[in-house]
């Protein structure tokens, strides 16, 4: 959907996916819609991460290194936040990518209607006090900005 929007308005998006099968399906869809030039799809295996919470895996550092250096919108919708040991799997996103976020960047965390995601937001605000988040309970998304 972001690729379609950017085709109309301009811009690019980089998406990170841990599941190669799902990434292949997404890549096929991008090609069918002629959006592959607007969407860079990275396949990044999940592994231990220094910023993890409770040992939950996150995307490999090597894969994350190829993300853009100036991010306007960080939409955090992965890794999956369910399953054994995965409750706080999305936690490393902000600290790992904070240096790449533009000053006026927006961070969105999906599934913020779940308790672990609300805990992630609280901990982000505690550890990175320059960020302020609100949670839209109707759509289940936390939205954050600096300041």
pLDDT at 63: 87
Whether 49 contacts 92, CB under 8 Å: yes
Give the residue ranges of DSSP H helices in the chain.
2-9, 20-32, 61-64, 92-97, 115-127
**Mean pLDDT, rounded, of the chain:** 94
Q: Mind listing the domains of the chain with CATH numbers? A: 71-146 (3.30.110)
Radius of gyration of the chain (CA): 15
Q: Is the pLDDT of residue 1 over 90?
A: no
What Å distances lie between residue 67 and 47, 113, 117, 130, CA to CA? 17, 28, 23, 23
Instruction: State what percent of residues in the chain have pLDDT above 70.
Output: 100
């Amino acid at each position: 959907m972001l690729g379609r929007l950017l085709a109309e308005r301009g811009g690019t998006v980089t998406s990170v996916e841990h599941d190669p099968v799902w990434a292949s399906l997404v890549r096929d869809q991008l090609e069918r819609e002629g959006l592959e030039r607007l969407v860079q799809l990275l396949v990044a295996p999940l592994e231990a991460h220094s910023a993890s919470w409770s040992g939950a895996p996150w995307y490999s550092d090597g894969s994350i290194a190829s993300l853009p250096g100036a991010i306007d919108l960080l939409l955090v919708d992965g890794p999956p936040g369910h399953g054994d040991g995965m409750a706080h799997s999305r936690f490393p996103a902000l600290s790992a990518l904070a240096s790449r976020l533009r000053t006026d960047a927006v961070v969105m965390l999906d599934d913020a209607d779940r308790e672990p995601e609300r805990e992630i937001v609280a901990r982000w605000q505690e550890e990175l006090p320059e960020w302020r988040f609100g949670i839209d309970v109707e759509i289940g998304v936390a939205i954050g900005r600096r300041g």
